[in-house]
Amino acid sequence: MKERTKLFYLVGLYLAAYLVPWSDPVVRRAGLEAFLMLREYAREHVLFCLVPAFFIAGAISVFVSQGAVLKYFGAKARKIVSYTVASVSGGVLAVCSCTVLPLFAGIYTRGAGIGPATTFLYAGPAINVLAVVLTAQVLGWKLGLARAVGAVVFSVVAGLIMSAIFSREEKAREEAAALNFVGEEEGRGLGKNGAFIGTLVLVLVFAAFARPGEDASAVWKTIFGLRWYAVAAFLVALAWMVRSWFSRDEAVEWVDATWEFTKQIMPLLAIGVLVAGFLLGRPGHPALIPAESIGRLVGGNSLWANLFASLAGALMYFATLTEVPILQGLLGAGMGQGPALALLLAGPALSLPNMLVIVSVMGVKKTAAFVAVVVVLSTTAGMIFGTLVG
């Protein structure tokens, strides 16, 4: 972190302590909500979601050859291959907007093109089978189907748009990567490296498996009940792999890379969660901006209502599956079907903590473009859906 950045954070902290009117009861409640949201985030996401994700990101940066990343995700890769792999791999993980960040940082810094990388970034939180099913059960099959189709299509469209916007920069980045690339030896071979990273992914998937609702199928409930046995088995397998396949120096390099991603991402996430909690609070707990105020602004199917829903969704932090009960309450308060879809498409894929980290990975300009693309696509989809079902 640059010295001026450290100075900026210090000045911002002291200005907040000095200028914020903490004597106001609403502000005090918002401040309490900020730290309660951070506590909730730490309890539910850090250990079982982010920690495995950081280790996966570290493994990608150390054990996945740059040549393989450039082959499947680079600017010269076939689009049908790169975008399919990015959307499918992101969707299979089905993680929240924050847990996907270390994985995105891993493939992007390793040489993935901006298009496939942002497709992966959007697909991870947005294409969540359990969330889509829950949406259809609670909010209706039309909204559930629209969410599923919109998330799959948008993951690819958003990546293609980002690739087109930054085509010149990506070409220069690709040439620089090719110039600096030296052939890498695959000591263990693709099979062993793939098995190792795949096992790490399985630890993440089962450890972060969301609790199914009362109406969920027996299959989901069974998987949830057995998840810790599966995690234990995969951890034993990982321990054996590390002992049998890796040298001590390689294991240390992996841990060091994991720590680098943790240092880069975790402080920004914590700041983002605090700000989001201060402004919007947790579901059912008002903060500085009451949910009722948002609900009044998203009635009907106007351009403003859909745009506001997209922007609100982009800034709010949604833990996995929490967007459904939030939408249920907003729909009951008069929210239109179009704005509901707009929020569903923008919300899980973006959040204020998410944006702060993306800026540190690919810069302000590309982050602003990605957020704008998601908001515009979500707003458009909301207006179309609202017109069709209205």
- The per-residue pLDDT for 383 is 93
Determine if residue 298 is left, alpha or beta; phi over 0 gives left, psi from -120 to 50 gives alpha, anything else beta: alpha
Determine if residue 320 is left, alpha or beta; phi over 0 gives left, psi from -120 to 50 gives alpha, anything else beta: beta
- The per-residue pLDDT for 289 is 77
Q: Quick one: 272 exposed, middle or buried, by C-beta within 10 A (0-12, 13-18, 19+)?
A: buried
Are residues 122 and 159 in contact, defined by beta-carbon separation less than 8 angstroms?
yes
- The per-residue pLDDT for 162 is 93
- The per-residue pLDDT for 187 is 54
- Residues near 136 by beta carbon (within 8 Å), at least 6 away in sequence: 143, 144, 145
- The per-residue pLDDT for 372 is 95
- The per-residue pLDDT for 341 is 93
pTM: 0.71
- Please choose, from the candidates 344, 351, 352, the residue with its C-alpha nearest in 3D space to the C-alpha of residue 379: 344
In this structure, what token pair is assigned to residue 221?
């409930």
- Rounded distance, CA 47 to CA 44, Å? 7
- The per-residue pLDDT for 175 is 65
- Rounded distance, CA 362 to CA 106, Å? 12
Q: Quick one: 252 exposed, middle or buried, by C-beta within 10 A (0-12, 13-18, 19+)?
A: exposed
- The per-residue pLDDT for 10 is 83
- The per-residue pLDDT for 130 is 64
Residue-wise DSSP of 323-371: HHHHHHHHHHTT--HHHHHHHHHHTTT--HHHHHHHHHHHHHHHHHHHH
* Mean pLDDT in order along the chain per 10 residues (390 residues): 73 83 88 86 77 83 71 74 79 69 83 87 78 77 89 90 87 64 54 85 81 74 88 94 88 89 79 79 77 73 91 79 71 82 88 86 92 94 89
- The per-residue pLDDT for 349 is 81
- The per-residue pLDDT for 185 is 47
- The per-residue pLDDT for 182 is 47
Are residues 106 and 58 in contact, defined by beta-carbon separation less than 8 angstroms?
yes
- Rounded distance, CA 255 to CA 277, Å? 32
Where along the chain do its domains lie? 28-177+186-389
